[in-house]
A and B are shown apart, each in its own frame.
Chain A
Amino acid sequence: MYSFITENLESIETWKKKQFFLSFHPPAHHWVLMSHALLSLSPHPTADIISTVEFNHTGELLATGDKGGRVVIFQREPESKTAPHSQGEYDVYSTFQSHEPEFDYLKSLEIEEKINKIKWLPQQNAAHSLLSTNDKTIKLWKITERDKRPEGYNLKDEEGKLKDLSTVTSLQVPVLKPMDLMVEVSPRRVFANGHTYHINSISVNSDCETYMSADDLRINLWHLAITDRSFNIVDIKPANMEDLTEVITASEFHPHHCNLFVYSSSKGSLRLCDMRAAALCDKHSKLFEEPEDPSNRSFFSEIISSVSDVKFSHSGRYMLTRDYLTVKVWDLNMEARPIETYQVHDYLRSKLCSLYENDCIFDKFECAWNGSDSVIMTGAYNNFFRMFDRNTKRDVTLEASRESSKPRAVLKPRRVCVGGKRRRDDISVDSLDFTKKILHTAWHPAENIIAIAATNNLYIFQDKVNSDMH
């Protein structure tokens, strides 16, 4: 059990009271900056926007994709006693160009190289594998390490040139000698031509043999070893495109049941499908939909109900969805409504018209569970991100920015004031920077380490007080 500090300390008396309080209650989280990476790899600054962030299954590796089609993998350094200040920090492990801009000759269009999603495959041998996708093409990458090389060939010299045989007087067995670590990345599969519309999600099945890719209207099932065909398992394209009123926004396989997957729609519904029921899963097994609140109805009701991300809990019992103003937890056994709803930035509800005007209302925020499914996290504007503790019902707003990114500085909780009493460090709604949006966040699978992408900045924070998951 733990609680968040959500108020600033105001006086010695308050501080004393808090110490007293803390002595009887476990200390709060202290999120501290572990690593801050600035992506500035290309001569075109606009290409350095991080578009996806994903930890691998152990949390040892963290992959980011950006608008320029590059993937950067960070590796956590093992904690060493000799360098205590670099306890398990993340450093760059490998960088490679995953996707290049393509040209569709049929439509005279460029296909964006922006990486929409990265998903790691469970590690099955010494190599790591991940899937990366842009709008149209999914690629499987294999990442291997080389730290030894053979030396002492009989026929070749050190540089690889053939030896003059007359100089060879004895035979030797080549031996493996250590060398500087080299990380090699190679594309193993390219899954192309499966999608007419833009791919928004990929998800690896728990069977580790198949994965799915979803675009606006269709979901395909692929076998990891087969690139020339895929099975279409969901198709919501109407016979007449004029009748199109709903698109697929996200989808994911169940973490344990390889036959179950969920997909979300722009109308705010979730459909759980069972692949054993039919080849084409157009009929959902379960439909999760919350009835509209008539008191809050406006012309923007549908837009703000559109689900931008859906994530199964690690346990597989719950689903987490993000729409424009809230995050919701759904129980797989209850279709009628979510079991929990958390307001991310309800102060924007009265600004929806302006946010529609400047297109911010279409921003797609992601959401994340912590490893024990007790805390959920999502991003917001002004480089703010929010965490909600499902047990204590406390929440906190933190900021990922250069100012707060001093190493080992504890992140200070932030507050947005909506008029009325304004405290010293509060931000007013009208001074929020809507260009600074935290769309992509990820939580380490086992520890309290989070990765936050803010434009071209990657922040990795660690909870120093509670390193392990509660």
Chain B
Amino acid sequence: MLPRGLKRKCSEDEAPAGPLQRQSLLDMSLAKLQLCHMLAEPNLCRSVLIANTVRQIQEEMTQDGSWSLPGPQTAGRSPRDRLVSTEVLCCSAWAGPAPAPDPADLASALQAVPATQVPGAMPGGPWDRAVPGESQGGFPRSLDQVFGTLESQGPGTVEELLSDVGGSYCDLDAVLMGVVGGAKSGPEGLETFASVAAPPRGTGCKADLGELDHVVEILVET
């Protein structure tokens, strides 16, 4: 089928999606997911459906060979070009102003949680857990992307992401997805998307994640 002009995001006819439509659909979906996360209380159903759509597109792109799996950065040039566009999307989407962080929250949370080892990374698709181990441990590699972009924006946005953290109410869910679990204690929860399924390999947005990784892994153990 003939690809439409680049400006048009959605083709009128729902013919089988060519690679351009698929890419623009992926871009749109990622933008929606990021918008979800910026909302105070995103709709969990909507987030899950969009995340599943992203996964579906990525799986098809992987099968087609137009997208290499994460791991050694030996991908060809053309997939990287496409990935760049979604990274640009990631970066710009996080460019919004963040609410003023409450340093006390994060500080107390860090004190409450013991330090952990950094588990080894596992190759796989963007949805696979990069870190094996406890049920509450690990986070997908794609979150490197998220935290990478946040880091580059400054501490403000990091605080926003981790602002749910607080004492015994903290769950890994809260850290990764902005969901405060704690069904045991019964507080209300916040829903966001399952995770931002950005391309697992970051190029332009890769920042120094060392410190941030450590912070997140500490919180993982709560």
Contact = CB atoms under 8 A, between A and B. Distances in A.
Q: When A and B form their complex, which 6 residue pairs have the shortest distance between CB atoms, in order from nearest?
A: A353-B10, A196-B189, A239-B135, A241-B173, A216-B44, A247-B45
A349 B48 contact: no
Interface centre among A112, A298, A353, A357 (most CB of B within 10 A): A353
21 contacts: A104-B188, A106-B169, A107-B163, A107-B180, A107-B190, A111-B188, A196-B182, A196-B187, A198-B191, A217-B44, A240-B136, A241-B173, A242-B127, A244-B194, A246-B48, A299-B17, A302-B53, A349-B14, A350-B14, A353-B25, A354-B10
Contacts of B52: 245, 302
A73 B90 CA distance: 47
Interface string B37-50: 00011011110110
Contact of A109 (B13, B14, B40): B40
Contact of B45 (A104, A110, A266): A266
Contacts of B138: 240, 242
Contacts of B188: 104, 106-107, 111, 136, 193, 195-196
A400 to B, nearest CB: 26
A185 to B, nearest CB: 26
Contacts of B41: 109, 112, 135, 198
A434 interface: no
- Chain A's interface size range is 35 or more
Contacts of B186: 193-194, 196
A108 interface: yes
Nearest to B13: A350
Interface of A: 104, 106-112, 135-136, 193-198, 216-218, 237, 239-242, 244-247, 249, 266, 298-300, 302-303, 306, 349-354, 356-357, 359, 362
A300 B46 CA distance: 13
- Say whether chain B's binding surface is mostly helix, strand, loop, or mixed: loop
Contact of B44 (A106, A112, A198): A198
Contacts of A239: 135-136
B172 interface: yes
A247 to B, nearest CB: 5
Interface of B: 9-14, 16-17, 21-22, 25, 28, 32, 40-41, 43-46, 48-49, 51-53, 56-57, 99, 127, 129, 135-136, 138-140, 163-164, 166, 169, 172-173, 176-177, 179-183, 186-191, 194-195
Contacts, number: 129
A214 B182 CA distance: 18
Contacts of A354: 10
Given A354-B10, A362-B49, A242 B140 contact: yes
A161 B68 CA distance: 86
A136 to B, nearest CB: 6
Contact of B9 (A107, A299, A357): A357
B190 to A, nearest CB: 5
Nearest to A249: B45
A266 B48 contact: yes
Contacts of B12: 350-351
A109 B187 CA distance: 12
A106 B187 contact: yes
Given A245-B52, A357-B10, 5 more contacts: A107-B188, A197-B44, A198-B43, A247-B44, A351-B12
B172 A245 contact: no
A266 B191 CA distance: 15
Nearest to B55: A245
A406 B13 CA distance: 39
B177 A196 contact: no
